[in-house]
A and B are shown apart, each in its own frame.
Chain A
Amino acid sequence: MSAEPTAGGPDSKGTIRVVQLYPRDMNIYGDWGNALVLRQRLTWHGYTPELLEYNVGDEFPEGVDIILGGGGQDSGQLVIQDDLQSRAGVLTDLAEDGAPMLVICGLYQLFGRFFKTRTGPVIPGIGILDVETHGTDERLIGNVKVTTDEFGEVLGYENHSGQTTLGSGVRPLGTVAKGTGNNSNDGHEGARYRNVVASYLHGSLLPKNPAIADFLIRTAAERKYGTFVPGTPDDRYSVLAREHAARRPR
């Protein structure tokens, strides 16, 4: 665990502590971009970001405001599984208490009940999300467009062979308009539970979907300080990047 230097000063609206889970083993597809976006947007909204990394064997940080988790390879999932089980309690308590979290791909799967790999072994999840994942031979790859109620159109890129089905304890993040999403059957992508957002989408997800980034920030600020006073981030490039990305083929 290590702290990044933080910005802010007497005018800061407060400090928001973001913890990225297992960046060493679960950051194969640029999910670092999500951490970077939160750090900058917190600054643009007038808050002081504090970015911490949590890796296997580290002490779990106190006073966590936002949790971020990325995708990894099967080998990365095997490396972290025991450590993740040992943190199931603290992560579950945070989620139940309404802490905002974003988990992508591999950690989305492990935040569920289990991941039954294609070759047989079952990797237990920590069960924060009522979902289960089954490994397949088919790799779902390509650009994705998802229609959501909460965040409008969500854009990203999927690359997974695990297929996830949702139980009654969660609702989907949205409905796929292009691409596959959770599985090749039901047209759903991602999962929502309390303030946990789970998704298969890389890209990274947050840069082109600032509505989700700002949801995480607003929720964290309200949970910690009672109110959220937004700043005025310049989202010109985000708008244009979204327009162009939406037109790219699958």
Chain B
Amino acid sequence: MSLGPKFVALAAALFVLAACELGGGTGYLELKTVPGSVRSPALYIDADKIDAKSGTTVLRQPVGTARLQSEGSDGKVVLLCQVVVKKNRITTVTISSLERPPRCQCERTGNDSKACIG
């Protein structure tokens, strides 16, 4: 059995990975929904719907600024906040479901910058 195609596939995968790394790599977004007993509204990061659990959800995200949005009772998607994701770091955002619309509570990160904007 020839190893050729496997090596080509592997090289291609590593090439794509290198391209992704050049684009900034991966960080993590920890979403905490409070109170845990209340079902959180449908949440979106940019255009992707999140399968958020009640309590804590940890998502891998490309480095950069992500738009955290929620779906209102009228079905419209509204921006909650923009979250800053840094390479190999975890950014925690707490979403209070008791408020209408839900609100982001952001942690502070280094150099006086906030984890989220808005």
A, B co-complexed: no
B interface, CB within 8 angstroms of A: none
A interface, CB within 8 angstroms of B: none
